[in-house]
Structure 1
Amino acid sequence: MLSAALRDGTAGRRSVFEAFGRRLPDGRRYGVVAGTGRLLDALADFRFGDAELAFLREHRVVDEQTLDWLAAYEFSGDIWGYAEGEVYFPGSPMLVVESTFAEAVVLETLVLSILNHDTAIASAASRMTAAAEDRPCIEMGSRRTHEESAVAAARAAYIAGFTTTSNLEAGRRHGVPTTGTAAHAFTLLHDDERAAFQSQVDAFGPGTTLLVDTYDVPTAVRLAVEIAGPQLGGVRLDSGDLLQQAREVREQLDSLGATETKIVVTSDLDEFAIAALQAGPVDGYGVGTQLVTGSGAPTAGLVYKLVSRENSDGTMEGVAKKSKDKLSIGGRKFALRRRNPSGIAEAEVIGIGSPPVDDGDDRSLLVPLIEGGKRVYTASLADARDRHTASRDELPPTARQMSRGEPVIPTQYQQ
């Protein structure tokens, strides 16, 4: 596309591309925007160096005119978007890229690969933290995905309310708080469970969390309290009927005087399992596979479409795809969250060509990210986490239901 547009003279036309989802994953009531910060970091380094250009030349992917253009590439346009951590709905213009066609079109894969992954993880994580309410969730999915995806997933999960991660690189790179426990291999390494528990307590103190389901849970709990004392930090359950076991372990811990010892459960949890376990004395959840695979929706299904372009007379014209089942709506979009006087969201209102009318209780959603090629969005990961909490809290209560349903608020268009 770039080569042909450079050749025919349309590459420099002013254009507007938008990233949005035509629908939410089946049965979901809202989604969560994540990956914005990572995208802006990647965009700052998005260049075509000698090695990339040599490959394109050797394999005759593009002509010399295009190679020269790519060698000098540096994005110089404007980008608007939903703040990271914001909830979104079908049609929400999560990202609006305003530049020349050439500058914007080459960003498609960069934009979608980051936003589709991180948004899918954050959307799943938000359902999990909603189900857990005030009980902490730990991200533990690094062994179930690509090594770089694991780091990104930990970051996205933290935005959506997870408190910690077992991925140390996410801690180093993004500042996500880290934690972890021993695996069954540590217990099996030692001659008996007593030796394993004693070693862990000697190394990390009585506040550590001991894994108590390698052999026999009641025996392990009794041994754990004997070794660490009533100040034992926590025990972890990873198999069996977790709800019933948690109840039995809580009763046993209390009878041994370890009334403050926490019970953490793991074992392929998702939002539905977490919701069920809320009926028991569980203090925290470790979530792995289901989180990093989006709990059944490993991609957010976002697309990146040209919605407006410059005419030969210099005016801008909305353009849209008309094919069956993949319709898009032409024109540059603006968005606000319509709220009632109590601050509860009622609709996602999308203005086409101009901002929709604010009735006094509404909240504008698009914020500037890049202006004239320069980054202006400086929100931190903590800001994104706060934004997620605030935006989810303004949704109607049905947003937290685990049952399948339609988006919790409708998307309305104004022109």
Structure 2
Amino acid sequence: MTANLRDVPAPEASSTSLLTDMYELTMLQGALHSGVADRASVFEVFGRSLPASRRFGVVAGVGRLLDAIESFTFTDAQVDYLHSARIVDDDTIDYLRSYRFSGTIRGYAEGECYFSGSPLLTVEGTFAEACILETLALSIYNYDCAVAAAASRMTIAAHGRPCVDFGARRAHELAAVSAARAAVVGGFVGTSDLEAGMRYGIPTVGTSAHSFTLLYDSEEEAFAAQVASLGPGTTILVDTYDIERGVERAVKAARAAGSELGAVRLDSGDLVAEAFKVRAQLDALGATTTKITVTSDLDEYAIAALGAAPADSYGVGTRLVTGSGRPTAALVYKLVEREGPDGEMQEVAKFSSGGKSTVGGRKWAGRVLDEAGSASEELIISARSEAAGLAALREAGARPLQVDLVRDGVIVEEHRGPDALAAAAERHQASRDELPYDGWRLSEGDPAIPTRHVDLEGRTPQRR
């Protein structure tokens, strides 16, 4: 029997609890059955190494994660699905009916740069509570951090010229919204995606595509119609036919409306050469205030190549929303500490070969600055208490990096919303400015600063 599409219940967008892997819930079931689900546990999100060609990472997705955790509850429809599909047993379903995270989460503030081993998130709660957040946290952070890192490299290459997200048509429709937000963290100033504009307060940008010009019987008619509708300050796409004629007609259409044209957009050809030719033509026409925006499969390297050209802004699509060749930040979510049978917290670690082992124990992170205010190392302290960890960071002259995101189940509101996004963008600029110059290079190489790990307890987790 085939169900009509109208008979299939729509997904419940208000809940994020099934945006997860099945094994999160089967692990929960096993822990509930054996009686260890309530053991206090500490999980950590980190990257074993930076992706190739990334000399620093960028923390992004904090606000999105907090929104997702708030919505991480199991609705009646979701519970019915888990029961009918026999995903977990009745005892586990009873636990999930009343699930709400009541633990504490600390992490790097959004916009901070990070490095190998940096504890981006520290999630504390019972095993049952914290375990099932793994997939959600990683799916948000791995994508958003990758896009923000790509955006940061692009804005470095742009040398202060504005970059705008044009990637909506090159990604899943919801991923595009997330990418627009992450791009702002990395330094972008706008997006073409209206959902991102409404949801996150990001300035939106856009005028017309080639199809608009092709709709009319002549290019002159198309440009006149656009100016009449959007005003002479609009941006006109001038390469549907011949660029030189397009520029002349665009300037003429704006002047007919009583003003100079705002900008022309180039979307094809040798962008460097065309930008020089168009600038010279605009100046010869007296349109010295008309700007040039460049699009067409840009990435950080193409933007760097345009550095000497008279382009005024860049629109970036595919390479932005795919992390410019690094679509994931390669972050993991691992248990590093848990309550033992005696009630004491015990450090735990993974001993796998092939570079997949982990460093156990709760960690406190800071960035050491030299006398000139330039970052010299990422310092990670393993300590049993916050007081001891922070004291060690202060003694080393390190700037603490972790902040409270969730306290006993209550979200710290300053870390989400439009104001938080603007603060994250400012924070990233300041964090990136602390890095030594070599850390800004686009080529492959060592991380911008080294990471040093100090274990105050001298503990060694045991193989069990």
Could you report, residue by residue, the CA deviation over 1:299-327 in whole angstroms, capped at 9, with x for unpaired residues?
11110000000011111111111101201
CA distance in 2, matches of 1:333, 1:176: 34
For 1:2 and 1:408, locate their aligned partners in 2 and report how far apart those are by CA, in whole Å. 40
2:190 is the counterpart of 1:150? no
Structure 2 residue 153 is matched with structure 1 residue 127: yes
Which residue is equivalent to 2:70?
A: 44
Is the counterpart of residue 333 in structure 1 residue 363 in structure 2?
A: yes
Structure-2 separation of matches of 1:359 and 1:188: 67
Q: Distance in 1 between matches of 2:63 and 2:139?
A: 14
SS at match of 2:221: helix
- The reply on whether 1:80 has 2:106 as its aligned counterpart is yes
Distance 2:222 2:393 in 1: 65
SS of 2:393's equivalent in the other structure is coil
CA shift digits 1:65-85 (9 cap, x unpaired): 111100010111100010011
**Residue 380 of structure 2 corresponds to residue 350 of structure 1:** yes
How far did 1:51 drift?
1.0
Q: Does 1:388 align with 2:428?
A: yes
For the 8 Å contact 1:368–1:377, the answer to whether it is kept is: no
Match of 1:402 in 2: 442
- Aligned 1:367-386 pairs, distance under 5 A: 367-379=403-415, 380-386=420-426
CA distance in 2, matches of 1:303, 1:322: 15
SS of match in other structure, 1:244 = helix
Give matches, 1:12-411, under 5 Å: 12-229=38-255, 231-324=260-353, 325-353=355-383, 354-355=388-389, 356-359=392-395, 361-379=397-415, 380-411=420-451
Q: Distance in 2 between matches of 1:39 and 1:63?
A: 28
Number of paired residues? 415
Contact 1:131–1:400 at 8 Å: present in 2 too? no
Alpha-carbon displacement from aligned partner over 1:198-223 (angstroms, at most 9, x marks no partner): 00001111100110111111111111
In structure 2, C-alpha distance between the alignment counterparts of 1:171 and 1:62, rounded to whole Å? 39
Aligned residues of 2:368 and 2:396 also touching (Cα < 8 A): no
TM-score, length of structure 1 as denominator length: 0.99
Amino acid at match of 2:445: G
Counterpart-to-counterpart distance in 2, 1:321 and 1:348: 23
SS at match of 1:358: helix
Percent identity reads: 58
Q: Is the 8 A contact 2:102 2:409 kept in 1?
A: yes
- CA-to-aligned-CA distance 1:337-396 (integer Å, 9 cap, x gap): 011011111111111125243246421000000111001241311111111111011011
Q: Which amino acid aligns with 1:254?
A: D
For 1:381 and 1:320, how far apart are their aligned partners in 2?
34
Q: Deviations over 1:69-108 (max 9, x none)?
A: 0001011110001001111101000000000000000101
Distance between the aligned counterparts of 1:183 and 1:205, measured in 2? Answer: 16
Q: Which runs of 5+ in 2 are unaligned?
A: 1-26, 456-464
* 200-209 or 54-63, larger mean C-alpha shift: 54-63
TM-aligned CA deviation for residue 266 of structure 1: 0.4
CA-CA distance at 1:184 after TM superposition: 0.5
- Which residue matches 2:452? 412
Structure 1 Cα separation of the partners of residues 413 and 236 of structure 2: 43
Q: Give the SS at the match of 1:357.
A: helix
Q: What amino acid sits opposite 2:357 in the alignment?
A: L
Distance in 2, Cα, partners of 1:302 & 1:401: 22
Query: What is the rounded CA distance, in whole Å, between the counterparts of 2:351 and 2:117 in structure 1?
Result: 15
In the alignment, structure 1 segments of 5+ residues that lack a partner are none
Paired letter, 1:412: R
Question: Which runs of 4 or more aligned residues in structure 1 lie more than 3 Å from their structure 2 counterparts after TM superposition?
Answer: none
Q: Distance in 1 between matches of 2:371 and 2:313?
A: 36
Deviations 1:179-207 (A, max 9, x none): 11311111111111100000000111110
Q: Distance in 2 between matches of 1:361 and 1:246?
A: 48
1:278 counterpart SS class: helix
**Alignment-derived partner of residue 19 in structure 2:** none
